[in-house]
Amino acid sequence: MANNKELPQLMNGEIKCESISDVSLEEVPITPNEYEEILNIQARILQQLALNHDAHETLQQLCLLVEQLLPNSVASIMIVDKDTNTMHVLSAPSIPQSGIDALANLKPGEGSGSCGNAIFHKKPQYVLNTFEDERWKDLRDIAYDFNLCSCWSMPIINEENQVIGSFALSSFEHRMPALFHKRVLENAAFLVNLVLKNQNIEEKIQHMLYYDDLTGLHNKRYLEKILQKKDEKILLLYDINNFSYVNTTYGFKIGDKLLIKIADILKNELAYSDICKLESDKFAIVLDKDININKKVQKIKEYFYTQEIIIDGITLNISFTYGAAKGKKDLYINAVIALKQAKQNGKSSLHIFDKQEEVIAYDKRKAFIESNNLLHHALQHNEIIPYFQGIYDNRTKTITRFESLARIEQDSKIITPNQFIEPARLSGLLPEITKIMIDKSFQIMSQYEHTFSLNITEDDLTKHYILEYLQKKSKEYGIAPSRVILEILEGISANGKKNHIAQLSALKKAGYSLAIDDFGTEYSNFERVLELEIDFLKIDAKYIKDIDTNKKSYEITRAIVFFAKNAGIPCVAEFVHKKEIQEIMLALGIEYSQGYYINKPNPLPQAI
C-alpha cells in the first residue's frame, strides 16, 4: 500500500520497544495548541464531507491526520459485521496488507485486543503493554509480529447507542495516553460515525465487507456466502509458495504489488470469475462440479511456469500449492485439509480431499488432542512421576544402576510415555517434564546409593538450562554428579548444534556421565562419540528384541559391540525381554542388560 509505514524490525528475535513512562499523564491539561490541533482535524474532515469526498478516502485521511499527533504510531478503524458479529478493518492506511489480513474476522471479547474489548465492553481501552496485558492474550502473536507495544481504542457508537466499530492508535512504544490523546480518540470516533451516517454508507460497507481492499477480488466472507448454497461444486484453494520470502526480502510493498498482479492474471489472463482473495497469500476459485480439477490446476501451473512477473524491476517466478474439495457441504474445511496435505506432500502439489483418508487423519488428530489434554492435566496436577528400571551388570551378575523413566499416574492408572511424549515435543513441554524428572528422581535416589540415568532431549539443550539445573538439584539433594548418567539420543551427538555439543562437554567436565540412547537408529557419528568421550552406548531396542531370530539385527549388534570394545565404551542392551536374548547378550560380551526379563520398572529402585 502506498502509505504503509515501515514497521520497526525485530532484531535477533527480540521485540524492540522504547518505554515512555510519563508520570501522571492523566493530570496533564490540554494546551491551547493541542485544542487547536483537534479542531483542525475536525475542520478538515467536515470540509471533505461538505464536498462529498469519497467516504473511504475521508476515513483514510482521518487516520493519517491522527497519526501525526502521536509519533511512532498507526491508526486503524475497525467495523463490526452485523451478521457474523466479527470485526474487520475498514481503514488503516499505514498498516501493511499482512497486518490487515491478521486482523480479519476477530470476535469482540475479553482477549481480543484493545479494539475487541472496546467493542465488547462499550468503553475505551488503554493498553500499556500488549505483550503482557490479558486483554491481548488471544492476539499476542500479532503484537509480536508487528511490534505493536501499546494500543488505545475508542468505541464508535451510533445514534441508537450501538457500538458499530472502534478507532485505535497502536504505538511502537510502551506508553499510556495523556488527556490530549484521549480527546483525539473521542473526536476521531465521533467523526467516523459522522462520516458513515452522512454518506449513508451502509451499502458501501457491505461492498467493502465482500471485496478484498488490496486486490479488488471477492474476499473470504463472499466465499462463505457462496458456499452456503447447497448445490454441488468444487472449491480449489491455492497458496503461493515461499511468499514470506518476498515480504522479508523486498518488503511488504513489493509483496502487496505481487498479490495485485497475481489477482489481475487470475481474473483477466486466466479468466476466472468466482475467484476470491483469502488471508495472506491464499486464493480460492469456485468451479462447476463437472470441471476436471487436474486439468484446471495444470493450466495454472503452465501459465506461471512460463511467465515471469516483474515488480518494480524485480523478477519473480511464482508457483502454487493446491488443495481441492468437491461436494455440497463442508467444502471450505475439506479444501483446507487438502491444502495442508498437499503442502506435506511437497510444494506445487495438488491434493484432492478424500473422505476415507480424512477419517483416518481425524482419528489421529483426535488421539493427539486426547494425549495433549492428558499431558496438560498431568503437569497441572503433579501427576508425572519417575519409575525405576534396573540395569544388570552381566559381569558381576547384579543390578548396579537404574534408569529413571517418566510415567503419568492418573486415577490409579500408570500411563507410559508413548501416550504423551510426542504431544510434549510438539507443544514444547519436554523441558518441563525433564525438570520434574530430575527433581523427583534426585529426591528418591538421595535415599539410595546406586548410580542412575535420566533422559535429556534436544529441547533441553536448546533452552540452555540443564547444567545449572542439575547442579542446583545435586546440591539440594546431596547427589554427587558421578552418580548421574545423562542419556541423549544419538541424533544430538551426531548432528548436534555447536552450542549443544559445548553443553555436553560442560556436563562431562562437571562430573556427569553421558550415554548415547538408541544407538544405531540414525547415521552414527563414531568420531563424535569418541570426541565427547561417551561413557556408555545403549544399543537400540529394535535390534535387540528380535536378535534371536533376525540375522540382520544380530550382525548390526555385533558390529556396534565390536566398535564399542575397541573404543573402550561399555554397551547396554535394551529390551532384553526373554532368556534366549539374554544368553546372546552374554555370548556377545555386552556389559549390561536392561529389559523386562531382568527387571520391570517400579516406583522405587528394586535391585533384585
| CATH code, 513 | 3.20.20.450
pLDDT score recorded for residue 586: 97
Residues 330 and 36: their CA atoms lie apart, in Å, by: 55
Other CB atoms within 10 A of residue 583 CB: 11
Closest CA to 280 of 298, 262, 292: 262
Mean pLDDT (whole number) for 140-148: 90
Asked whether the predicted pLDDT for residue 390 surpasses 90, the reply is yes
Q: In this predicted structure, what is the pLDDT of residue 452?
A: 97
With a pLDDT cut of 70, the percent of the chain lying above it is: 90
Q: 315 and 434, same structural domain?
A: no
CA–CA separation, 59 vs 78, rounded Å?
Answer: 11
Residue 265 in domain: yes
- Domain C-terminal end among 353, 387, 421: 353
**Contact indicator for 104, 88 with CB cutoff of 8 Å:** yes
Strand 125-127 and strand 150-157: the pairing is: antiparallel
Q: What is the pLDDT of residue 552?
A: 94
Non-local (6+) Cβ contacts of 28 within 8 A are: 22, 178, 179, 180
Q: Which residues contact 89 (CB under 8 A, 6 or more apart)?
A: 76, 77, 78, 95, 100, 103, 104, 213
- DSSP letter string, 312-364: TTEEE---EEEEEEEESSSHHHHHHHHHHHHHHH-TT-EEE--HHHHHHHHHH
Instruction: Tell me if 4 is assigned to some domain.
Output: no
- CB half-sphere exposure, 413, CA atoms < 13 A: 7
Question: In the chain, count of helices (H) and strands (E)?
Answer: 23, 23
Q: Domain boundary residue among 319, 353, 387?
A: 353
pLDDT at residue 198 is higher than 60: yes
- What pLDDT is recorded for position 16? 54
Taking the C-alpha atoms of residue 198 and residue 442, their distance in angstroms, rounded to an integer, is 73
Are 515 and 485 contacting, i.e. CB atoms less than 8 angstroms apart? yes
Q: Are residues 276 and 305 in the same domain?
A: yes
- 429 and 578 in a common domain: yes
Q: What is the mean pLDDT of residues 19-32?
A: 62
- Cβ-Cβ contacts under 8 Å for 93 (sequence gap 6 or more): 1, 3, 4, 60, 63, 64
How confident is the model over 341-374, as pLDDT tens digits? 898 888 889 998 877 666 566 677 777 888 889 9
Whether the pLDDT of residue 40 is over 80: the answer is: yes
* Predicted confidence (pLDDT) per residue in 407-445, tens digit: 999 988 999 999 899 888 888 899 999 999 999 999 999
**How far is the C-alpha of 59 from the C-alpha of 76, rounded, in Å?**
9
Handedness of CA 209, 214, 216, 221 (dihedral sign): negative
User: What's the confidence (pLDDT) of residue 77?
Assistant: 96
Lowest mean pLDDT among 64-68, 369-373, 592-596: 369-373
Is position 11 within any domain? no
Supply the pLDDT for residue 176. 93
Q: Are residues 294 and 371 in the same domain?
A: no
Predicted pLDDT at 204: 63
Which of 141-145, 237-241, 482-486 has the largest mean confidence? 482-486
Considering the domain architecture, whether residues 224 and 135 belong to the same structural domain is answered as no
pLDDT of residue 519: 84
Q: Considering the entire predicted model, what is its pTM?
A: 0.51
Which residue would you say has higher pLDDT here, 495 or 255? 255
Same structural domain, 420 and 443: yes
C-alpha cell at 435: 525438570
| CATH code for the domain of 256 | 3.30.70.270
Whose cell is 517418566? That residue is: 406
pLDDT attached to residue 23: 42
Task: Write down the pLDDT at residue 48.
Answer: 86
pLDDT-based confidence at residue 11 (cuts at 50, 70, 90) = very low
User: b/e map of 506-540 (b: 16 or more CB within 10 Å)?
Assistant: ebbeeebbbbbbbbbeeebbeebbeebebebbbbb
Residue 3 is assigned to a structural domain of this protein: no
Average pLDDT for residues 13-24, to the nearest whole number?
50
The answer to whether 18 touches 173, Cβ cutoff 8 Å, is yes
Residue 376 belongs to some domain of the structure: yes
Give the pLDDT confidence of 150-186 residue by residue, as tens digits.
Answer: 999 999 998 889 999 999 999 999 999 999 999 999 9
234 and 186 housed in the same domain: no
Residues 393 and 320 in one domain: no
Reported as a pLDDT band with limits 50, 70 and 90, residue 229 is confident
Report the domain count for the chain. Answer: 3
Residues 187, 246 within the same domain? no
Indicate if the pLDDT at residue 84 is higher than 60: yes
34 has pLDDT over 60: yes
Domain boundary among 353, 382, 401: 353
For the stretch 446-505, pLDDT in tens is 999 999 999 999 899 989 999 999 999 999 999 999 999 999 976 665 455 678 889 999
244 and 107 within one domain = no
Percent of the chain with pLDDT strictly greater than 90: 57
Q: Which of 326, 329, 328, 318 is nearest to 338 (CA)?
A: 326
- The pLDDT of residue 17: 62
Residue 307 has pLDDT above 90, yes or no: no
Domain contains 601: no
**Same domain, yes or no, for 73 and 181?**
yes
- Reference 212, options 281, 143, 141, 288; nearest CA is 281
Residue 521 lies in a domain: yes
| 55 and 197 share one domain | yes
Q: Cα–Cα distance between 539 and 519 in angstroms, integer?
A: 5
Residue 214 included in any domain? no
CATH number of the domain that residue 169 is part of: 3.30.450.40
Mean pLDDT within 501-521: 90
Distance CA 129, CA 144 (A): 11
SS3 assignment for 470-511: HHHHHHHHCCCHHHEEEEEEHHHHHHCCHHHHHHHHHHHHCC
Asked if 33 and 187 touch (Cβ cutoff 8 Å), the reply is no
Q: Which residues contact 65 (CB under 8 A, 6 or more apart)?
A: 41, 44, 45
Q: How many CB atoms lie within 10 A of CB 343?
A: 16
Residue 341: domain span: 220-353
Of residues 281 and 198, the one with the higher pLDDT is: 281
**Is the distance from CB of 511 to CB of 480 less than 8 angstroms?**
yes
Stated as kind and residue range, the H or E segment containing 72 is none
| Separation between Cα atoms, residue 554 and residue 546, nearest integer Å | 8
Average pLDDT over the chain reads: 88
